[in-house]
Amino acid sequence: MNRRIVSDSSSNVLELEGVDFRSVPLKILIEGKEYIDNKDLDVPEMVAELIATKKPNSSSCPNPFDYEEAYEGADEVFVVTITSGLSGSWNSAETAAKYYMEKNEGKKVYVIDSLSAGPELQLIIEKLVELFKEDLTFEEIVEQIREYQKHSHLVFTLESLANLAKNGRVNPAVAKIAGLLGIRFIGIASEEGKLQQISNVKGMKRAVAATLEAMKKYGFNGRKVRIAHCLNPEAAYRLKDLIAAEFPFADVIVEPTTGLCSYYAEKGGLMIGFEDGQAAD
């Protein structure tokens, strides 16, 4: 029996060794140029274009045929998508799942709406890999991953609101003032799958410290942390050091953001996925 994990590229995971894995890319459109979020994408170039353009830009999700192609040949598929509150990716994956199971009797597909983005999806994928190694049925894995989602979280820190302003999601005057004053915005992925601001602070050092405080507020006590940064390793490793000083046994990994996460985080942004203290081993 062949079990497979499929994720859209918002997971910040494009390749995964030791397990049957497929990444389905989202796309970013800037000034008429399409950037495909895969391992060949030049992220710094794409981010530079985002900064340079004065025009609105957009992202597009995979279509059902993209997902169906990723399912092909697998007996059991577990799919992890960006929150349905931001993208149609979940809907495409679900549509493809229904068609795939109708066409292939006995095949099973479970589509997980992460209600999040970036490194929280990475944690869900890592948990699936762990569960694959146990002697569990498809239904038991579904039950356990649903429970795990209750104890995984996302906090993010934004240095720039420029792209959000260009796309009409933030007042341009607010974005400009925030940039001039060095204000960082800290937010979370809510239980409803919306990305919402919880505070703002001035300066990188204060923002990193406030990010750790936000993590603790939402239950972090030293378990897994996955930090993704958009061209800002200094802040990412500063956060890692702060975590290590207070929680020396925490499992912390720092990685750069891939295309879609870079689009949302913008230059300087951090996205942090973490487990709370009730997450099962």
pLDDT digits (tens, 9 = 90+) for 69-110: 999 999 999 999 999 988 999 999 999 999 999 999 999 999
Q: What is the pLDDT of residue 169?
A: 61
For the cut 80, the answer to whether the pLDDT of residue 235 exceeds it is yes
The alpha carbon of 76 is separated from its chain's Cα centroid by a whole number of angstroms, namely 23
Strand ranges (E), 51-182: 58-60, 76-81, 108-113, 152-158
CA distance 193 to 115: 4
For the cut 90, the answer to whether the pLDDT of residue 144 exceeds it is yes
CA distance 118 to 237: 18
CA distance 243 to 225: 9
Q: What is the pLDDT of residue 179?
A: 75
| Mean of pLDDT values over 253-260 | 98
| Mean of pLDDT values over 35-44 | 98
Q: Which residues contact 110 (CB under 8 A, 6 or more apart)?
A: 77, 78, 79, 97, 138, 141, 142
Point out the least confidently predicted range of 42-56, 60-74, 155-169.
155-169
The model's pTM is 0.94
Helix and strand element counts for the chain (H, E) = 10, 13
First CA to last CA distance, the chain: 25
Q: What is the pLDDT of residue 160?
A: 86
**Pairing between strand 21-24 and 3-8?**
parallel
Using the structure block, give the residue that is written with the tokens 């300066």: 203
Best CA proximity match to 226, nearest among 243, 210, 213, 209: 243
Averaged confidence pLDDT in the chain: 94
For the cut 80, the answer to whether the pLDDT of residue 119 exceeds it is yes
Q: What is the pLDDT of residue 170?
A: 65
Domains assigned to the chain: 3-26+61-149 (3.40.50.10440), 152-275 (3.30.1180.10)
